[in-house]
Chains A and B, each alone.
Chain A
Amino acid sequence: MHGPATSARIGQPVTRKEDRRFVTGEGHYADDFNFENQTYAIMVRSPHAHANIVSIDASEALAVPGVLAVLTGADFIADGLLPVPNKTFSMHPAEIPLVNTDGTPAFNVPDYPMPADKARFVGEPLVMVIAESIAAAKDGADLVHIEYEPLPCVTFTVDAADLDAPRVRDENTSNVCIDAVIGEPDPTEESFRNAAHIAKVKTWIPRVTGSPMEPRGAVGTYDPKTGQYTVYTSSGSTLRLRRDLSLVLNVPEPHVRLVIKDVGGNFGTRGAIFAEQPLVAWAAKRVGRPVKWTSERSELLLSDYQGRDLAVEAELALDKDGTFLAMRGSNVGNLGSHTGNFSMVQKGVEIMSSIYRMPSAFFRVRAVLSHTAPTRPYRSSGRPEVMYVMERLIDIAAKQGGFDRAELRLRNLVSQNELPYKNPFGLVYDSGDYIGVMHRTLKLADWEGFPARKAEARTRGKYRGMGLANYVDTATGIPREKARITVHPDGTTDLIIGTISNGQGHETSFAQLVHDWLSVPFEKVKLITGDTDIVDVGGGAHSGRGMRLGSIVIWEAVNRIIEKGKQVVGLLLQKDAAAIKFADGDFFADGNQVMSLIDVATAMNSRTDLPQEFRGPLAGECDQTIMEAGFPYGSHACEVEIDIELGTVEIVRHTAIDDVGRAVNPLIIHGQTHGGIAQGVGQALLEQVYYDASNGQMLAGSFMDYAMPRADMLPFYTTDISEIPSTTHPLGIRPAGEGGTTPALGVVINAIVDALSEFGVEHMEMPATPERIWRAIHGKPQRSRMVPDTVEQDFSLA
């Protein structure tokens, strides 16, 4: 197959089809759904981190003009609705399962969208007020009187792991939901006994939040005649959300229709069902009118799913030449108040050793509940945290052992001829050229020229540092995915697929695939997603699965169309279908073009002499999953300049090379990398969901206190793509998407520590705020990231 000679083929930096509606204001997000006669909901949220709900008095609220209903968790239960089930682990066969050391199952409980018994974090929704207007609903919400019995709380990860800590769930004996070990203890201990150097790091990667720019929102409707609920919202997934909604609403799946149009960002923290989605549907049934809810940013900062929040104690053993021998340690991840998703600890620990040759390793892993908002996967869940730990260990080891930081990495990277490589946790990396990509990055980032740049910066009074970081990411991508492609006689080609774009540009990149493989005009490929009346199988765009899995089902669907076409041509021209070839949109018999794809589509739509199975639309579909993992990897370099008087950091260069296996649309891939870098830089320098451990209050409750990265603190990035085909994907796609963020925490912090090395600074915790840097330079005790106005306390994960 040659494919069309156009600039929209696979591999071309095609500008996006979806842009036109976004740049003209025609994008359609959750708050843009409006219905006649709609009502408005406001959530009353807990001001306490942990409290018994003693009573709720709605009488004054109900008396407010315009207030239609005040609904509570008790009403929810009374109506026979069910809590949201949690699917804690990735069950993908390529991933390493975590099992409790004592053999018991991991602790997992479903969560009520509005609990009736207790509040378990500040911002948890407890009461829903429905009114004729938002203002009336707010007036009503102000008059809902909830009597609380405050209870002791725990917010900090390490404290929550204490077996005597205040418990989030009475059903469990502690907050620990899983306590597992992974790796081989004996060879690891043996290596540590024989090590010439041991590098250690103890760190807490603080909680951040995804903060997509679109607020959460949903409109629910209910048709009493058919018993059909419809939820109009914005989400990272369609069918999983529909299934969860049906479970909560306690109706069969077909009784719930889900409609999603444009999604204003996700980053994982909008990937799962959120409380208000089933609540608006239920409320619509209760009040007999559509119910609309749109959050405000302050609510989002309290109640969005959040990310990261992992405490790690880790050690790396090296021989006298700097060869890695083993690593060991302990990870504790903070789940917040739900047993929502353990991927942070699971996906984290299984690649702790990154793409370095590591003969053995042994880690303890715990996931704990706390009185904080639930955490979920956030932009490369679990991996940025552990890549940061690994890359910090390497720099610490380099300093300790007197090794060059680049050479130490190159010496230990798994070489191409060792692949596939089974890492010490059992994960098998498919393919790649880790050493080659790092060399390319060193060249692109001008590693050799750094000393001169550093010297020049000093003449301006700036302390310049350079950091390096390699990374690997796991792309697994369940659940299954389905594509259905229909070629119409006018050339219009519909692609129906389950996965949904949250800004990744599927309308463009998927159209490139169809265009390339079927030679139908790029402009005529129409992507249809986001409505469960049309799509019936598929997942989100999480884990890089949009393109990795999407491309496979599109490829197969295309092949089925071609096969069908060959059969139709064979029937019409009385040729052997097996001998017919397809290329560039045309069918060939005996080397001659005989019919075009459009001819076939037209024939199938109009000819009545074809057998029944070949009459109707020319369509093909494929529904499958991928049982092997892909491993995107790459190598980044970052340079910072520090004003040591104030402690302020400027990112002056950031270089990234990411191996995506095969690049479908480099324009989109570079864009993903840029955004990913900014999110990583945000965590490294600025962002923290700051829970005050003394009372459970969240102190960064608006954009006045939660610092988002802005244009003036970021540079132009230098990004490049490597394309070593993935051997676990028929088209070689790894994929792209998380490459910007995954190494960013490590590479930024390594650059800062390098810049400060002459002050004896060996490590820097995140966020590396000016004050933190200033204190490190002067050897002053750091301030706590858990309790304001206190000194940071040491912790132990032993």
Chain B
Amino acid sequence: MHDFNYHRAKTTAEAVALLENEDAKAIAGGMSLLPTLKLRLARYADLVDLKPISELSGISRNDNSITIGAMTRHAVVAASDVVQEAIPALSVLAGGIGDPLVRNRGTIGGSIANADPAADYPSSVLGLNATVITHTREIEGEEFFQGLFETALNPGEIITAVRFPIPKRAGYFKFPHPASRFCLVGVFVAQTETGVRVAVTGAAPSVFRFTAAEQALATNFSAAALEGVTLEPEGLNSDIHASAEYRAHVVEVLTRRATERALSA
């Protein structure tokens, strides 16, 4: 990896100031950023470590949402009683990211900001239409992911928390990649006050909504309602591990299974 200047930010304001340099990059858990740097796929003049900023960690709940600080580790989310009670699917999702050692280190903010097409969290952000809170504004989950490793974040903008509305029910089902253990496909199904959302990760260059399934589930939230609901393979990822056609099929199956999980939760 190329060398860089390293800064420990103690407050969000300090981090924001340090990130004004356009060659600077925020580092959270480092589980995505450091492998990228090690392979020399990216280089930055400055790394700004957000870890010391205590205000960015923690989980809180109000009547209809839970808010997870950006620097909250996956393991903490997975084990949180608050999350398990309010959105058990989110706990399941966090508990299946990477492996336990990665979950001890990786953070929700880091995962979302990186927008890896095979990451787990984006499906929950889109599937629950969570609100991504940054130091300057709030971004709808709907608007946040904009493509392969692309988000609505402006340069230097720091995610401080993610606010998840508490759904009536939700389910997550992951088909792990045989080598990387990222998502070959992951499907997050949620029934909320505003309707049904089905978000799919791993299958395409960016997380997306499976609208045909949403429509089918809107009138009848059951796996049976998904009979005959199909996803076109066009535009889906195809690689040595799975073709677009197979991924489309897996999305269909996982949507049913995630729905069943939502109903059994």
Contacts and interface: CB of A to CB of B under 8 A. Distances in A.
Determine whether A and B are in direct contact in the complex, meaning some CB atoms lie less than 8 angstroms apart: yes
Interface of A: 135, 138-139, 142, 298, 645-646, 686, 688, 690, 699-700, 703-708, 769-771, 774-775, 783, 788-789
B250 interface: yes
Main secondary structure of the interface of B (DSSP, over half): loop
Given A705-B240, A771-B241, 6 more contacts: A646-B253, A688-B240, A700-B240, A769-B242, A774-B249, A775-B246
A706 B253 contact: no
Nearest to A705: B179
B234 interface: no
Contacts of B243: 771, 783, 789
Interface residues of B, number: 19
Given A646-B253, A788-B239, A708 B179 contact: yes
A688 B179 CA distance: 11
Interface in B12-49: 39-40
A-B pairs with the 8 shortest C-beta distances?
Answer: A707-B179, A707-B178, A771-B246, A704-B180, A690-B240, A645-B253, A699-B240, A705-B179
Contacts of B179: 686, 700, 703-708
B242 A789 contact: no
Contacts of A770: 242, 246
Contacts of B178: 686, 707, 769
B240 A646 contact: no
Given A769-B241, A788-B239, A789-B238, A646 B180 contact: no
Nearest to B184: A770
Nearest to B242: A771
Interface string B80-122: 0000000000000000000000000000000000000000000
A298 B242 CA distance: 21
Contacts of A769: 178, 241-242
A789 B175 CA distance: 21
A139 B249 CA distance: 45
- Among B240, B242, B250, B253, the one with the most A-chain Cβ atoms within 10 Å of its Cβ is B240
Interface in B153-177: 175
B180 A705 contact: yes
17 contacts: A138-B40, A142-B40, A646-B175, A686-B178, A705-B179, A706-B179, A707-B178, A707-B241, A769-B178, A769-B241, A770-B242, A770-B246, A771-B242, A771-B243, A774-B249, A775-B246, A789-B243
| Dominant SS among interface residues on chain A | loop
B232 interface: no
Contacts of A135: 1, 3
Contacts of B241: 705, 707, 769, 771
Contacts of A298: 39
A296 to B, nearest CB: 9
Contacts, number: 49
Most buried by A among B1, B241, B243: B241
Interface string B224-258: 00000000000000111111001001100100000
Interface of B: 1-3, 39-40, 175, 178-180, 238-243, 246, 249-250, 253
A707 B239 CA distance: 14
Contacts of B246: 770-771, 774-775
Contacts of B250: 646
Contacts of A646: 175, 250, 253
Q: Of B39, B178, B238, which is in contact with the most chain A CB atoms at under 10 Å from its CB?
A: B178
A699 B175 CA distance: 21
A591 B169 CA distance: 87
A176 B175 CA distance: 42
Contacts of B249: 774
A211 to B, nearest CB: 12
A796 B179 CA distance: 32
B101 to A, nearest CB: 13
A642 to B, nearest CB: 14
A566 B39 CA distance: 65
Contacts of A686: 178-179
Contacts of B39: 298
Nearest to A778: B249
Contacts of B239: 699, 788
Contacts of B2: 139
A135 B40 CA distance: 11
A142 B43 CA distance: 14
Nearest to B35: A704
Nearest to A647: B246
A771 B178 CA distance: 12
A703 B243 CA distance: 20
B120 to A, nearest CB: 16
Contacts of B238: 788-789
A605 B128 CA distance: 83
A789 B253 CA distance: 22
Contacts of B240: 688, 690, 699-700, 705, 788
Contacts of B253: 645-646
A138 B38 CA distance: 11
A679 to B, nearest CB: 16
Contacts of B175: 646
A461 to B, nearest CB: 12
A695 to B, nearest CB: 14
Nearest to A783: B243
Contacts of A690: 240
A707 B175 CA distance: 14
A690 B1 CA distance: 27
B248 to A, nearest CB: 11
Contacts of B1: 135
A401 B239 CA distance: 39
A705 B177 CA distance: 9
Nearest to B238: A789
Contacts of A707: 178-179, 241
A762 B39 CA distance: 43
A138 B243 CA distance: 36
Nearest to A703: B179
Contacts of A775: 246
Contacts of A706: 179
B33 to A, nearest CB: 15
A503 B255 CA distance: 45
Which of A645, A700, A703, A775: most chain B Cβ within 10 A?
A: A645
A708 B180 CA distance: 9
A775 B179 CA distance: 21
A783 B238 CA distance: 11
A774 B248 CA distance: 13
A771 to B, nearest CB: 4
Interface centre among A705, A706, A708 (most CB of B within 10 A): A705
Nearest to B182: A704
A770 B180 CA distance: 16
Contacts of A700: 179, 240
A645 B250 CA distance: 8
A706 B178 CA distance: 8
A783 B243 CA distance: 8
A269 B238 CA distance: 31
A206 to B, nearest CB: 11
A232 to B, nearest CB: 25
A783 B245 CA distance: 11
A770 B241 CA distance: 9
Contacts of A139: 2
B138 to A, nearest CB: 34
Nearest to B38: A296
A704 B176 CA distance: 12
A645 B175 CA distance: 12
A706 B239 CA distance: 13
Contacts of B3: 135
A609 to B, nearest CB: 67
A775 B39 CA distance: 35
A733 B40 CA distance: 51
Contacts of B242: 769-771
Nearest to B244: A789
A189 B39 CA distance: 57
A333 to B, nearest CB: 23
